[in-house]
Structure 1
Amino acid sequence: MGSRPVQHRYCRCGTHLAADNSEHQCARCQRASRDKLIAPPQVAAEFWQTERFRQAFAAQHIGWLSRAYRTHPHHYAVYGPSGISQTLLGQWLGLGQSQISRIETGAPIRHLDTLHHWVRVLRIPAELLWFRLPPEEQLTAAESSAADLVIPATNQGLEPLAEQKSPGAETHEEFADDPERDPVLVAPWNHRGTVEVAVVLSGSDGRVKRRGFLSLTGPALTAPAHQWLVHEPGPLVSGLVGRRVSGELVGRFTAMVAELRRMDDVAGGGSVLAMAQQAFAWVTGLLDRAGYAERTGRGLHVVLAELGQLCGWAACDGGDYELAQRYNVVGLRAAHIAGDRPLGAHILASMANQSARQGQPAEGVTLVETALAGTRGQATPALLAELHVWQALAFATLRDTSACTAAISQARTQVEQLKPDDDPPWLYWLDPAAITISAGNCLLLLGQADHAAVLLNEGIAEFGESFVRDRQIHLVQLADALARPGKQRDLEAAAGLGVQSIDLAETLDATRGAGLLRDLYLRMTP
C-alpha cells in the first residue's frame, strides 16, 4: 500500500507553513496581525494627498482628518473594507469610541497640546499642518491628556500652550466617578503629569476619594497600555528645590519595597496595603517637592512604579479592584518615565492577571500582547514566562483551549531558561513550581479537572513555604479539582485540603482566598 501524500500548508502570503505550526499564518504574518492592533501603521508621504485630507487640512478640523485617516483605501487590505474602526483609533490615542465619534462630528478642536498629541500618534507630516509644532525636545512635555480631546474650544483661535490648565487645576472636585475626567487617567504622559497623578492618588490634595472610583473596562482599561507603548519617555526634569534626595535613600526605599512584598506573601494584601500606600505617598512627596539629580529622580520613579504595582496587587487582594487599577496605571506611568520597559511590562502583566480574574479576559489578552510588543528584545526568560502564564490565564477564562495551551507551552519553555542573577527582584516569585501551578489552574478553568489535579499537586509539592497566601489559594484550587466529577475525584482528600487552607486563611488578611473557600464549600455541599 502506498504512503499517504504529504499535505503542504501555506500562509496567504505564500510562505510554506512548518509541520509544527498549528496556525494559519506564518510567523511574520502572525506578528503583522498582532502589531496592526498595537500602533498606527507607517504610511508613505502620498498617503496624505487625497481630496478628503485636503478638505480636512483646509478646514483645520482634526475630526475630519480622523475620518479621512480611518477610511483611507490604504487600510483596506490590512484592516478590512471599512478601514480602521473608531474603537481601534481610540485605543491608539487613549480614547473611547464615543469620544472619537464626538470629535469627528463636533466642532474643530483648538487646543494646541491636543493637536500635538494627534500629530505624534498618527505621524502627520508637519508641513501639512495649520499650526506650528514645538521643538522636538519639547514635544513630550506638550502632549495632551486624553480628556482634553473632548473639551470644547473656548475661543475661535488656537489656545497658547502656556494657558492650558494642568490636570490638577480644578480643586476639591470629585472626578473619580467619571473616567473621562479622572485625573489618574487623563494627565499627560510626562514627568510632571506622572507626579501630579501620584499626588492625587496619594490623597494629599483632597481632590479624589480613593474608594469612589468606577471600574475601568474596555478601551478605558487598555488605553494606558497603548500610551505606554507608543510614547517615548520624555526628559526627566531634575528637582531643583527642597532638600536633596541622596542615592542612598533610593537604595533604602528599594530594600523596603522588597520587604513589603515578602510581608504581602505572608500576611496578605489587606495587611500590607496601608504601609505600601504610606511609602507611595512618601516617594511622591519627594518627587513633587524635593531636589534631586536626574539619576536619583529616575531611581525614585522606579521605586514609585514598584510601589504602584504593589499597592495595586494588595488592593486587589483586599477586594478593591477599582483602586488597584489606578495604582497600576500610576505605576505604569512611573516605569515609563524611568525608561524601564521590563518593569512596565511586569505591571501590565499584573493588570492582565487582575483583569482576567475580574471577568475582563479580553482586556487581559490585549494588555499582555502590548507588553510583549513593548519589550521585544529586552525581556528576560523570567519576564516572558510571567507574560505568557498570565496570557494563558486570560485565554483560559475566554475558554480558548488552543491559545491557552500554546501560552502555557511558551511559559514552560521560558522557565527552563531562567537565570535568576539576570532577573529583577520583582520576579523573585517566579520558578518552575509557580508555572506548573498556574498551568493547572488554567486547565481547571477549562474544565479539565483530572489533568489540573496532577499539575496542581505536582506544583504545590515544590512550592515555597514562605508564600503563605498563595499556598492557601493553591490548596483550594487543588481541592476544587478533586471535588469535581472525573477519575481524579476524591472528596475526602478535597475536604482535607480545604481544612489546611482554612488554617492558613486564619493568618491572612485577603479576600480572594476566602472567596475561593466559600465556592469550594458550595461545591461540596450536597
Structure 2
Amino acid sequence: AHRPSRLSRPELDLLESTTAMFRQWDAQCGGGLRRKAVVGQLHEVTDLLQEPQPGPTAQRLFRCAAELAELAGWMSYDVGLQPTAQKYFVLALHAAKEAGDKPLGSYILSSMSRQMIHLGRPDDALELIHLAQYGSRDCATSRTQAMLYAMEARAYANMGQPSKCKRAVRMAEDTFLDAGLDGEPEPDWIRFFSEAELNGENAHSYRDLAYVAGRSPTYASLAQPVMDKAVELFGEDDEHQRSYALNLIGMATVHLLQREPEESTVLATRALKIAKKVRSERVNTRLRKTVDTAARDFGDVADVARLTDLLHEQLPETAEAV
C-alpha cells in the first residue's frame, strides 16, 4: 500500500474523462465509429492492471476497465456483433466486482438485459434485471433504480405480462421523480437516462405489449403519447442522435399499429436522415424492419412505396465494417 503509484492522479483523471468522451461519441455517432478505439483503450488499462498498483489506484483502474468493457460490449451489440458483446459484458462484470462498485455492476447487467430483449429472450432479460436490482438496492441512485424498473417493464412486456409491465412502468416514473434530489453526484454512465429516455423506454414497453397481444390497439394508444413526448425531448438533444432515431422508428411502428401508414412514413423518413449519419446497425435493422412491415401491410399506399424505394437507395443492406 505504501509503494508509489506509477500513475499520477492527473493521469487517472484523464483515463476516466476519456471513457466519458467515448461514451458521448457513441451516443452521437453510433457504435461503429469508435469501437476499435475503445477496445484499444481497454487493452491499455488491463495492461496497467497487470502491474503492481496501490489499492486506491487499482480500484480506479478496475472501475475504468469495467466502464470501457461495458462500452465495448455496448458498441459491439450496436453493430450486430452479439457474441463479442457478451464477452465484453462478462469482462465488465468481473472488473466492476473487483472495483467493489455495485451500482456499476447493475448498469452492466441492464445492458446485458437490453441485449437479451433484442435477441428475443425476455425471460433471461428479466433474470438479469432482478439480479441487478437485488445487488444494488441499497446503494444505487434513484436515476439508476428508475432505469432498472424501466428495463424490468420491457422484459415483462415481451413476456406478455401487462399487469406486471404497467406496475414496473409506474415504479420507473415514480422513482425517476427523486432523481438528483439527494444531492449526490451521479456517475457519468447513468447520465444518459434522462426524461426523454424514461419516456422512450416506457413507450416501447407499451408498444411491445401491443405486438405480443396481437397488435392490440389499446396498448398502441397507451404508447402514443409517451412516445410523442420522447421524440419531442430527443429532438431537442443533439447529443443522443441514435436514441432520437430509435424513438422516431418506435413512433413509426406505433402508427403502423394504429393503421396510419402516412404518419408512419413521415417519422421513418426523419429516422432515415439520422441513420445515414450514425453507424448503428441496430438503427438500420429496426428501420428496415419497420419499412418492410409497412410495405407488407400497406404496399398500395403511395407514401409507403416511395419510402421503400428511398430506403433501398440510401441505406443499402451491406455488411458492417468493424
Settle same-fold status: TM greater than 0.5. Answer: yes
> Which residue in 1 is equivalent to 2:189?
426
Report whether the alignment pairs 1:451 with 2:214. Answer: no
Please list, as runs of the form range in 1=range in 2, the aligned pairs for 1:254-265 lying within 5 A after superposition.
254-265=16-27
Partner of 2:40: 278
Alignment of 1:391-470 (within 5 A): 391-419=152-180, 422=184, 423-447=186-210, 448-463=219-234, 464-470=237-243
Offset of residue 400 of structure 1: 1.1
Matched residue, 2:304? none
Report the 3-state secondary structure (helix = DSSP H, G, I; strand = E; otherwise coil) of the residue aligned with 1:455: helix
Q: Which residue pairs with 2:216 in the alignment?
A: none
What residue identity is the alignment partner of 2:283?
Answer: G
Cα offset for 1:382?
A: 0.6
Unaligned runs of 5+ in 2: 211-218, 300-322
Cα shift at 1:350: 1.0
Q: Aligned AA for 2:104?
A: L
Deviation at 1:272, TM superposition (A): 1.9
Q: Identity percentage over the alignment?
A: 26
Deviation at residue 368 of structure 1 after TM alignment: 1.0
Task: Kindly provide the amino acid, as one letter, of the partner of residue 493 in structure 1.
Answer: E
Instruction: State the distance in 2 between where 1:483 and 1:408 align.
Output: 23
Q: How many residues align?
A: 284
1:480 partner letter: T
Distance in 2 (CA, whole Å) between partners of 1:239 and 1:312 is: 35
CA-to-partner distance for each residue in 1:171-218, whole Å, 9 max, x for gaps?
A: xxxxxxxxxxxxxxxxxxxxxxxxxxxxxxxxxxxxxxxxxxxxxxxx
Residue 252 (structure 1) aligns with? 14
Write the distance in 1 (CA, Å) between the matches of 2:166 and 2:15: 39
Conservation of the 8 A alpha-carbon contact between 1:352 and 1:363: yes
Matched residue type, 1:474: N
- Aligned residue number for residue 144 of structure 2: 383
Are 1:503 and 2:267 matched, yes or no?
no
Q: Secondary structure at the match of 1:269?
A: coil
Tell me if the contact between 1:245 and 1:291 (Cα under 8 Å) persists in the aligned partners. Answer: no
TM-score normalised to structure 2 length = 0.85
**Alpha-carbon contact 1:381-1:415 (below 8 Å) kept:** yes
Match of 1:491 in 2: 261
TM-score by length of 1: 0.52
d(CA) in 1 for partners of 2:137, 2:256: 42
Structure 2 CA distance for aligned equivalents of residues 355 and 272 of structure 1: 23
* Higher RCO, 1 vs 2 (CA within 8 Å, ≥6 residues apart): 2
Alignment of 1:187-336 (within 5 A): 244-288=6-50, 290-336=51-97
1:376 Cα deviation (Å)?
Answer: 2.3
Distance in 1 (alpha carbons) for counterparts of 2:157 and 2:227? 16
- How far did residue 247 of structure 1 move? 2.5
**Matched-pair contact (CA < 8 Å) for 2:28–2:238:** no
> Could you say which residue in structure 2 is the equivalent of 1:232?
none
Q: Is the 8 A contact 2:230 2:247 kept in 1?
A: no
Checking the alignment, whether the CA contact within 8 Å between 1:317 and 1:512 is kept in structure 2 is yes
Which entry has the higher C-alpha Rg, 1 or 2? Answer: 1
| 1:142 alignment partner in structure 2 | none
1:461 CA displacement? 0.8
Report deviation, 1:240. 7.1
SS of equivalent to 1:319 = coil
